[in-house]
Amino acid sequence: MLKLAKTSLLALSIVASSALASDILVTVNGKNITKQDAQTFVTSQAPSAIFADLKPEEREMIKQRLIEKELFTELAAKEGIDKQAEFKRNMVKLKAELLVNMWMKGQLDNAVVSDSEAKEFYAKNIDKFREPESVKAKHILLKTEAEAKAIIDELKPLKGAKLLEKFVVLAKAKSTGPSGKNGGDLGEFTKDKMVPEFATATWALKDGSITMKAVKTQFGYHVIYLEKKIKPDPVVYDKVKEKIIASLKQKQFATKISAVAAELKSKAKIVDMTVETNATKK
């Protein structure tokens, strides 16, 4: 029975060693450079990038940079950089920074947001989780303001289906834009897809109405007909749940850090030398 146990432990050790070896990209003077090292390097340059997904030549370039870093580290150590006073001063600063960063990370990791809290936030801020509002519209593009005004005067007395029908006829006959052959139809679009002057005029309209003044843009003069504004449904909760929880954790973290900072300051002996210096000057 004991012999079997030893064999099992040996097998596990071999498997563990193999798994570790599979993560090693290269060794440099006996020092392992791993896939994790490569990912850390990639993350520092492009936070959302994944080392394994990069092109072969990009992975090779990163591997070479890591090899060079290891060799430069060895060279710097041989030349006694770590014995210099400046190095020691900077190490103290780095240690302090690392202490604070790790403590901060621990506070953020310990923040807890329940599903019910996230759902409540979603319900109260549901409009924030909608895609941008879009519209369905048509237009007639003309070269001069006078031409546009004449079209508007012709359309002004009409309403409802008659207005739409006449608009389509005039667009096909008069519009200089490529959409003219389709009755001026621009389809559905969001505000950011049009030049500002056109977008502002369109969003100011009510469904089933036209602009009463020619809208001038870099393309010419437009008469715009708004078919309808489309307010999209909000994104479902499950799709934004993780973002909401992360946001609420960050808010909880910030609140806690402010409170801890205030408490520590109230108990600490803090002498602001700049205040004393200014008082002395006066």
Q: Measured between alpha carbons, how far is 32 from 66 in angstroms, rounded to an integer?
A: 10
Q: Which residues contact 274 (CB under 8 A, 6 or more apart)?
A: none
- Residue 6 has a pLDDT of 45
- Residue 274 has a pLDDT of 83
- Residue 280 has a pLDDT of 57
Domain with CATH 1.10.8.1040 in the chain: 23-83
Domain with CATH 3.10.50.40 in the chain: 132-230
- Residue 177 has a pLDDT of 92
Q: Measured between alpha carbons, how far is 170 from 158 in angstroms, rounded to an integer?
A: 13
- Residue 22 has a pLDDT of 73
Q: What share of the chain is helix, strand, coil (3-state, %, to 5)?
A: 65, 15, 20
Digitized pLDDT (tens) for each residue of the chain, 282 residues in all = 334 444 444 444 444 444 466 799 999 999 999 999 999 999 999 988 999 999 999 999 999 999 999 999 999 999 999 999 999 999 999 999 999 999 999 999 999 999 999 999 999 999 889 888 999 999 999 999 999 999 999 999 999 999 999 999 999 999 999 999 999 999 999 999 999 999 999 999 999 999 999 999 999 999 999 999 998 888 999 999 999 999 999 999 999 999 999 999 999 999 988 865 555 555
Tell me how far CA of residue 195 lies from CA of 188, 198, 201, 215, 216, in angstroms. 15, 6, 10, 11, 10
- Residue 137 has a pLDDT of 98
Structure tokens at 38: 């490569």
Answer CATH for 132-230 from 3.40.50.720, 3.10.50.40, 3.40.50.1950, 1.10.287.130? 3.10.50.40
Tell me the whole-structure pTM to 2 decimals.
Answer: 0.55
SS3 221: strand
Q: Which residues pair with 225 in a beta bridge?
A: 138, 210
Query: Residue 229's closest CA among 210, 200, 206, 195?
Result: 206
Answer CATH for 23-83 from 2.30.110.10, 1.10.645.10, 1.20.120.530, 1.10.8.1040? 1.10.8.1040
- Residue 276 has a pLDDT of 58
